[in-house]
Amino acid sequence: MTDTQAPVLSAVRNHIGHLTLNRPAGLNALTLEMIRQLHGQLAEWAEDPAIHAVVLRGNGEKAFCAGGDIRFLYDSFKAGDKRHETFFEEEYALDQYIHAYSKPVLALMDGFVLGGGMGLVQGATLRVITERARMGMPEVGIGYFPDVGGSYFLSRLPGELGTYLGVTGVHIGAAGALHAGLADHCIAHDQLAELDRCLDGMAWSVHPQEALRTLVSTLALGNPGEPELETLRPAIDLHFAQPDVASIRASLADEQRPAYRDWAQRTLQVMDSRSPLAMCVTRELLHRGRLLDLASCFALELHLDRQWFAKGDIMEGVRALIVDKDKNPRWNPPALDAVSPEQVEAFFAGFKPAAARARRLTTA
């Protein structure tokens, strides 16, 4: 394999470690090999005093990273092996490592930033998008739930934005990402070459984090577009504060205000295409995530992962949308009113937050 064929490219220029996801034909979807390469290179650079900062980006014009290699996970479970469990364990470990990384990480996002891509960037020091960015956690569309720390970062968004994004799985543009707090700055796509030129010429006369923040602020766009989320916030906060997904749906169906009626109807159509079970578990996951620390959120997501392939809707979702491509998933249960609170609660039974486990180990 040549350097250009490697799934992750690494280079060092002017005391900056550059990591590039390099599967553009697959929208830079993460494989286990990529996760291991990213984690290993970050760990090496963390110990290298010559490296002042890290820049993370994706190759190609379409995506930073459109998620994980879902077909691999499907095939692993079908084969009866544990590779899909290993994937989640190592992916979450990488994401959590980035949250606590000892040097500034600049995540540079152009195009799609979905699922596993969001997990890579939400712990970065500086989350920089272009006006072409499309961000989201679309897992409910394949019968899954927002993972990679989504129970932590979605649950901490203003108002009910996180519940809205997680339960519906919709994508948002650059202005929406900035309004929601899922990105820090927006730089024009045409300015990316200038950003690289500036990075290559930085003098490092101040702390690396301050130097990067000043540079990005200088190049940032003032207004990347109309923030639709800001306009919709009153309706989102009303409807998605309801106590369960069935109540959210009923509240949306009752929306009569002209400013929000069309959006409410579109949102209903989206929700009616999603896995009822995945939406209900997602709402509960985000509700619980608000009260958990980061490590406990990752632990809870792993707790769900270990049950979901056998008891959730992901295998059917991947079959219908990626394997057979009939686009007609047979969700189980097929409707919201058939999902019982007991069925949702069962997925969370037996979970102990990471902090509680750590206290028990300390006192043992």
Q: Specify the residue for token string 């959006």.
A: 263
Of the residues 68, 117, 136, 312, which is catalytic? 68
3-state DSSP call for residue 122?
A: coil
Catalytic residue of the set 116, 166, 173, 176: 116
**Within 13 Å of residue 268, how many CA atoms lie on the same side as its CB?**
16
Q: Which of 69, 91, 110, 139 is catalytic?
A: 139
The yes-or-no answer on residue 61 being catalytic is no
Is 116 one of the catalytic residues?
yes
**Helical spans, DSSP H, in the chain:** 32-46, 70-79, 83-99, 116-121, 150-153, 161-168, 174-180, 192-200, 208-219, 228-239, 245-253, 258-273, 276-289, 294-311, 314-318, 341-348, 354-363
Indicate if 196 belongs to the active site. Answer: no
Q: Looking at residue 181, what DSSP letter applies?
A: T
The Cα–Cα gap between 258 and 346 comes to 40
Catalytic residue among 95, 147, 160, 255: 147
CB-based contact 48:16 (threshold 8 Å): no
316 is catalytic: no
Question: Which sequence positions are flagged as catalytic?
Answer: 68, 116, 139, 147
